[in-house]
Amino acid sequence: MSHKTVDHLPTAVTHGLEAGALAPYLGPGLLALCSGSAPPAEPVALAGLLTSKVSVPGKIRNRLTAAAQFIENFKHRKTLVKAMNEIFALQATPSALHHWLAGLPAPLIVDCWYDDTLRSALAARRANWAEAQGLAQSEHFGTWIGWYDAQGQALPDAATPTTLLYKPWGGHAPTGNYLVSDSDFVEVLTEIDIQTPIPALVQSRRAALGFVFLGCRFNDQLPRAFARQILKRSAGPHYAVLADEPTRMEARFLDEQGITRIALPLEQVAAMLCGAPAPAPALA
């Protein structure tokens, strides 16, 4: 059975997001909507910047997790974190879609990249949100999640905000938490099937939610593994904005998870969601 594909933005998506019944699930591709300078918006570009700072063998230069592991093993974890902090210190100006998402009554927003862009948009609009970030076990052995309030102050216990921003791979602000090396992900993936690394609040709130993937690709096993476990026991329905024809593994994942593919460019969907006129299609 093939996954369902539509060539329009279903009204159920807009209404679901506006009502807080659908949760945004964001990937690095959302940075493409930002004007001006922005940090790297996909793993190969990030690997290139990391390896321009710290030399690694050529055969792993374009493989983010392997390059990060080499730096961690031979230059120390602090060197890896310092390089990541330098790369993501470049702040992108939040796009109209970032600001629109920040204004939603979403019980949960998942953000699977390291930039601060959505955090900045949330901070500019409201105070009733908090953040949960995945923590690397090499630095926080036995503690899977770091909690932060809207001002970036660490919280001693899990929060119950109106909106929870969940960054399972960590993030630059406020303290430079990163899941990026092979060992970082192995530690989490060893436990994620039994949901240990996923906050209890995420697990309880997803039970009444579907997800809308924006700026995500599933052509690598890591984003698929995390999405599969974060979606587990969620209410649905699920949608993914994916203009490009999916790869074989992406198509299989969309089918397996019952995700409807919206075959439109992210820029066009962003304009529709934000209420602006959709851009005219390019002439052939």
Q: pLDDT-based confidence at 2, cuts 50/70/90? A: low
Backbone phi and psi for residue 171, each to the nearest 5 degrees, phi listed first: -170, 165
Question: CA 173 to CA 255: how far, in whole Å?
Answer: 35
282 pLDDT higher than 50: no
CB-based contacts of 269, cutoff 8 Å, min separation 6: 9, 214, 241, 262
Q: Is the pLDDT of residue 258 over 70?
A: yes
pLDDT category, 281, cuts 50, 70, 90? very low
For the ranges 23-27, 71-75, 138-142, 156-160, the one whose mean pLDDT is highest:
23-27
State yes or no: pLDDT of 1 exceeds 60. no
Cβ neighbour number for residue 2 with a 10 Å cutoff? 9
Tokens found for residue 124: 């500019």
Question: pTM for the complete prediction?
Answer: 0.94
Residue 85 has φ and ψ, to the nearest 5°, of -60, -40
Higher per-residue confidence, 81 vs 158: 81
pLDDT at position 158:
87
Residue boundaries of the structural domains of the chain: 5-39+90-273, 40-89
Q: Is the pLDDT of residue 225 over 60?
A: yes
Residue 157's pLDDT is: 86
pLDDT at position 276, please?
A: 53
Instruction: Report the distance separating Cα 219 and Cα 240, nearest Å.
Output: 13
- Phi, psi for residue 102 in degrees, rounded to 5: -65, -20
Among 40-54, 109-123, 190-204, 239-253, whose mean pLDDT is lowest? 190-204
Q: Which two tokens stand for residue 204?
A: 């309880």
